[in-house]
Amino acid sequence: MKIKVHPPTYSLFFILLLVNPLMAFQVFAGENCNAVRAQYQCPVKKHRLHLSFDDGVGSVTPKILDVLKRENIKATFLILGNKVDCKQYKPGKSLELCKQRFNTLKRIKSEGHDIGSHSYQHYHHSKLSLAELNKTILDSKKILEPFFTTQPPVFRLPYGDGWFNQKDQPQVMEALKKAGFEHLGWEMTAYDWNEKYQHGDQILDNVMGQMCKGRGRDGVVLFHDGVFENEHEGRVFTANNLARWIPKLRCAADFVPLTDVKKNFKKR
């Protein structure tokens, strides 16, 4: 049987083969998982990984949804209430962008991802008065209630503030519980918000390192699809590179639904 190879692809393969044989085979034959696992010292037995995204909805969220759809991965999106509360805007560009974000929120739900609250405002919750604390939690519940996918509904505190320091600041977790939420922390973090890692594969290195180093870790990994300071943008670097990182992550992990790694949440 004759195999037809398009001339530019054919020549590109041989140029790559001369320059970097490993890359040639990775590009043309899919991911070389042996090499990936060796690089990060990952075991052959796969870890269980669940992707989560904070600070959205952002303008890049649809791009992330496209990647997840193609890869058949269900993730969890922790939404900032104020990003999708469109009644705060007068007619104009901001309102139009808010409506786009609201439509993206509907798409997140219709594509089978889990949705939780990242509060209404991106405050340090342990620094709030009790009245402010309850208001931002309940405002997010009001706007996001139709979109929650779990019982109890998921909440992730901005900066993890009130979660990792709950011994000293118990009022935050108490307020969440009173509002009917359950907090979702993370076992691994990509540090993708930090510009110093927004080069090459450093963000992938962060996750692979935490997942495979030592005894390794399973569970939820924290990424970002939004930028909380800016109503329009998202985490552009993450959105642009996620498609490249997923096949490498898959060499060492199976992507599993939230309810597989967190038994305290049930699907609604």
Residues of this chain that bind Zn ion (CB under 5 A): 54-55, 158
- DSSP assignment string, 140-177: HHHHHGGG--EESPEE--GGGTTTTTTTT-HHHHHHHH
Question: What are the E-state strand segments in the chain?
Answer: 47-56, 76-79, 114-117, 150-151, 154-155, 182-183, 188-189, 219-224, 253-255, 266-267
d(CA 83, CA 53): 14
Closest distance to Zn ion from the beta carbon of 52 (Å): 11
Closest distance to Zn ion from the beta carbon of 138 (Å): 18
Closest distance to Zn ion from the beta carbon of 200 (Å): 24
Closest distance to Zn ion from the beta carbon of 55 (Å): 4
d(CA 82, CA 3): 55
> How many Cβ atoms are within 10 Å of 190's Cβ, its own excluded?
26
Q: Which is nearer to Zn ion, 124 or 213 (CB)?
A: 124
Q: Which is nearer to Zn ion, 160 or 247 (CB)?
A: 160
What SS3 state is found at 15? helix
Q: Which is nearer to Zn ion, 144 or 256 (CB)?
A: 144
Q: Which is nearer to Zn ion, 54 or 225 (CB)?
A: 54
Residue 127 token pair: 């620094």
Q: Which is nearer to Zn ion, 225 or 265 (CB)?
A: 225
| DSSP H or E segment with residue 107 | helix 93-110
d(CA 253, CA 202): 18
Q: Which is nearer to Zn ion, 116 or 158 (CB)?
A: 158
Q: Which is nearer to Zn ion, 55 or 192 (CB)?
A: 55
Q: Which is nearer to Zn ion, 40 or 147 (CB)?
A: 147
Dihedral class, residue 124 (left if φ above 0, else alpha if ψ from -120 to 50, else beta): beta
Closest distance to Zn ion from the beta carbon of 113 (Å): 17
Closest distance to Zn ion from the beta carbon of 84 (Å): 15
Closest distance to Zn ion from the beta carbon of 122 (Å): 6
Residue 67 token pair: 């990647």
Closest distance to Zn ion from the beta carbon of 80 (Å): 7
CA 200 vs. chain centroid, Å, equals 18
Dihedral class, residue 41 (left if φ above 0, else alpha if ψ from -120 to 50, else beta): left
> How many Cβ atoms are within 10 Å of 188's Cβ, its own excluded?
21
What SS3 state is found at 128? coil
